[in-house]
Amino acid sequence: MAGRVAIVTGAGRGIGAATAKLLAKAGANLALLDQDAAGATHTAEAIGLEGAEALAFGVDVTDSFAIERTFDRVVEEWGRLDVLVNNAGLVRDARLEDVTDEDWDVTLDVNLKGAMVCTRAAVPHMLARGRGRILSAASVVARDGNWGQTAYGASKGGILGLTRCWARELGPKGITANAVAPGFIDTEMVRSVPAGIVEKIVARTAAGRMGTADEVASVYLFLASDLASFMNGAVVGVDGGLLL
């Protein structure tokens, strides 16, 4: 990844932060986006301590104007954009009868619209070089469903559809689009799930445990690299065998 430029959304913590750090360790320059500006700055400082370059931006991925300006700033700084990791996301869990319009709207806005807005802003910069990697966060929930996750499941299912459309549309232009579908990963988001539910999920997982953010980050690094040059439209499960 030496000399390449990557943007990671939701980079202030969890899988986003781990992915940004691993891409930087592999030689990339990183732009870190998060609605929590302090979180993005913290990740950037950690990357800087390792001798790599990183810029932090406090920005909402659903704000088209702000995203376009931010992406332009990144290209002005480093002259290129090679990788976009659409990682920003949130969960508003509720049974169907308890899902509010607000729950639905904010989940679809951040998880699905945010990925579209960021990819739309990234593609012109990638087309200018004739290559690029678009990587988006799906979930096992998109493929297997989960109790109480109507809005989240819909948003992540949408990511699968977007990824396949982008793969067909952009593949002939040198830009690949792939999705990563984590299972239950030991992050702050999953720690908010009741312990009893987590225990049942772990019991169904062939690996017998939750995954780590670094294990998901490793898959993002592979997909961002030239090693995955012929992967396009793929959905890579990182779930420890939960869907076996």
Determine the Cα–Cα distance for residues 183 and 239; give it in Å rounded to an integer.
4
Considering only CA atoms, give the Rg of the chain.
17
Q: Which tokens sit at 38?
A: 């302090």
Determine the Cα–Cα distance for residues 202 and 147; give it in Å rounded to an integer.
15
- C-alpha triplet 153, 155, 161: angle, nearest 5°: 105
Nearest to 86 by CA among 11, 6, 8: 8
DSSP 196-230: HHHHHHHHHSTTSS-B-HHHHHHHHHHHHSGGGTT
Q: Which residues are catalytic, by number?
A: 152
Q: Which tokens sit at 180?
A: 């990563």
